[in-house]
Amino acid sequence: MTKMEPKSEVEESNRMWASASFVGVLIVIGLPLWWKTTEVYRVALPYDKINTFTTLSHAVTTELTVVANDDATADQIVDNIKKEFEESDVIKLNIKKFILPDGLRRTLDSVADDQEAVEEVAGAYDLKKHNTFYVVQRSQLYQDVWLSRERLAFFKDATASRTLVEVLRQWVYQTSVLEGGRLEKPDVARQTRFPPGEEYHVVLSVVHPKPDALAVEFHAEDAVEDYIGSFVDELSELHNFTLKSQWLYLLDFDFQAKEVKDTSEWGRHFAVRQERLQLMLTRLEERAAPQVSSRPTVNLALYLLPCHQAPLLIYDNNDKPIKSPVQAFMSPKWGGVVMYSPSAADCRAAEPTSSPDVRLIMGTFLAQLRTLLGIADTPSIEGAAAAALRSVRARRWELDALLRLRTLEQLAAAHAALASLAQLLGEISNIVINDEVGASINSAVKSIEAAEELLSKDLLAAYRLSLRAHIDAETAFMEPSLLALLYFPDDQKYAIYIPLFLPIMFPVILSLKNLLLWFRGKAVHKEKTE
């Protein structure tokens, strides 16, 4: 027996070492190797930074200068404005106050025309700077507050402070629209305007369903270049625009209009129901080829009604005609349609010829374009008036408002895209993040940080950075390489793993128990012998 003991011990230790080497090959080397080779490639991402961004913390700092005739008025106005905007978390006002110099005051009081007064103020103060606004007292005013086309508003006296605050809140700073820009759920204005972008294509399609029955004198190219061109030139700091025009002939749309007798020159009009018009967009999309543009396209369509369908009136849901000089409608994030009826005299001629009123048509398109590009409408305020849009240009303070709105919206959108991507990455382990996507995520994060810092200093630079961030975040989110492994199904993976791993790993894992016991026993044994 004494001879047998060491032999069986040697055998046992051989067995145990064999068992240990199985464990070593399969678990110590094999498992990490398998883990490493089947790993989904992901670049390290700044998750902590992405998660610490909060959309609601973004606020724009803007400069407001109050210029009054005397110190008391200035103080009262400033106090009122401060009180109103204290609680706003989208806009922070940096208010300065000045007393109007005597010379300028006298000029302002003597000048009758408001526009001339604006020019006088422009001579004394710099109205060209972005993200600034001037409130100047002018006693010779018909209303309480008058808002010019420049970055300037006049107020009558201290009693007008209530109206002035309203004008600032609703017209100049548009706090409710700004707040809507950064919310997760889009408000009405955001549902209507185009999503932020670097460049837009504006395409005017002139639809002429009956070229043989009606000759039309309309120059689409010049109309686009003259009217829309000078409008979008003003917006060139925000977006690039490419203007295009095309003619679409013989595109018939069945309005299903009802003939109604009336007392007009025609003695009739055609009533088309509002909900029918939506179908027209599909018909237009077929031929207008918006999909070939490499950028988002704002579609403007001028539908030249043939004589036998003219004049056409749009009826609302209550079966009442919509009173307007131009029959037009707009489709959110798509564009606008103007339906132009030739006059009765044009159609009665031997060779019907119509020359549409370019100013009227293009004016309608511009109004639609303003909304589609994000320039908010101004609700009416009692005692306040805004200078009319005389030319096609946008008002200066509208541009500033748009700049603030787009900056906040782009920051919010970029942040939302990154946050959802981070969340998706957490939920779906199969998503690949290659170096390119990683780089654009990192650059988006950096741009967001830089833009946030610049929000209080340089709005234009902040806008550009936020646009960069938005584009980077969107490209990262939309990158098709993310989906490279998404459709590798789990059941197939297990179909391969189970026949191999189950029969092999079972005995190996079960042998672990014996192995551990043996090692522990050996250690105890060693201690005993010592």
Interface positions with another protein (CB under 8 A): 11-12, 15-16, 18-19, 22, 203, 211-212, 217, 219-222, 224, 226, 242-247, 249-252, 286-287, 289, 291-294, 495-496, 499-500, 502-504, 507-508, 511, 514
What is the closest distance, in whole angstroms, from the C-beta atom of residue 229 to another protein in the complex? 11
Report how far residue 313's alpha carbon sits from residue 274's, in angstroms, rounded to the nearest whole number. Answer: 10
What is the closest distance, in whole angstroms, from the C-beta atom of residue 245 to another protein in the complex? 4
CB nearer to another protein: pick between 27 and 122? 27
The residue whose two tokens read 């507050």 is: 145
Report how far residue 300's alpha carbon sits from residue 312's, in angstroms, rounded to the nearest whole number. Answer: 19
CA torsion, ordered 275, 281, 283, 287, to nearest 10 deg: 170
Question: Is the distance from CB of 226 to CB of 188 less than 8 angstroms?
Answer: no
Q: Which of 525, 510, 234 is nearest to 394 (CA)?
A: 234
H or E stretch covering 524: helix 490-529
Q: Which of 7, 2, 5, 62 is nearest to 405 (CA)?
A: 62
Question: Is the distance from CB of 383 to CB of 145 less than 8 angstroms?
Answer: yes
Q: Classify each residue of 160-190 as buried b or exposed e, where b means 16 or more C-beta atoms within 10 Å of its C-beta.
A: bbebbbbbbbbbbbbbebbbbbbeeeeeebb
Report how far residue 328's alpha carbon sits from residue 309's, in angstroms, rounded to the nearest whole number. Answer: 16
At 418, phi and psi to the nearest 5? -65, -40
Pairing mode, if any, of strands 215-216 and 199-208? unpaired
CB nearer to another protein: pick between 201 and 470? 201
Q: Which residues contact 364 (CB under 8 A, 6 or more apart)?
A: 326, 328, 336, 338
Q: Classify each residue of 387-404 as buried b or exposed e, where b means 16 or more C-beta atoms within 10 Å of its C-beta.
A: beeeebbbbbbbbbbbbb
Give me the sign of the Cα torsion angle 386, 387, 392, 393. negative
What is the closest distance, in whole angstroms, from the C-beta atom of residue 248 to another protein in the complex? 9
CB nearer to another protein: pick between 205 and 331? 205
What is the closest distance, in whole angstroms, from the C-beta atom of residue 289 to another protein in the complex? 4
DSSP 374: T
CB nearer to another protein: pick between 252 and 377? 252
Tokens of 75: 């103080």
CB nearer to another protein: pick between 42 and 244? 244
CB nearer to another protein: pick between 251 and 399? 251
What is the closest distance, in whole angstroms, from the C-beta atom of residue 329 to another protein in the complex? 23
What is the closest distance, in whole angstroms, from the C-beta atom of residue 228 to another protein in the complex? 12
What is the closest distance, in whole angstroms, from the C-beta atom of residue 337 to another protein in the complex? 17
CB nearer to another protein: pick between 107 and 246? 246
Question: In this structure, how many other beta carbons lie within 10 angstroms of the beta carbon of residue 339?
Answer: 25
What is the closest distance, in whole angstroms, from the C-beta atom of residue 211 to another protein in the complex? 5
Name the maximum alpha-carbon separation found in the chain.
132
CB nearer to another protein: pick between 134 and 200? 200
What is the closest distance, in whole angstroms, from the C-beta atom of residue 251 to another protein in the complex? 8
DSSP 484: T
What is the closest distance, in whole angstroms, from the C-beta atom of residue 221 to another protein in the complex? 4
CB nearer to another protein: pick between 54 and 492? 492
CB nearer to another protein: pick between 71 and 286? 286
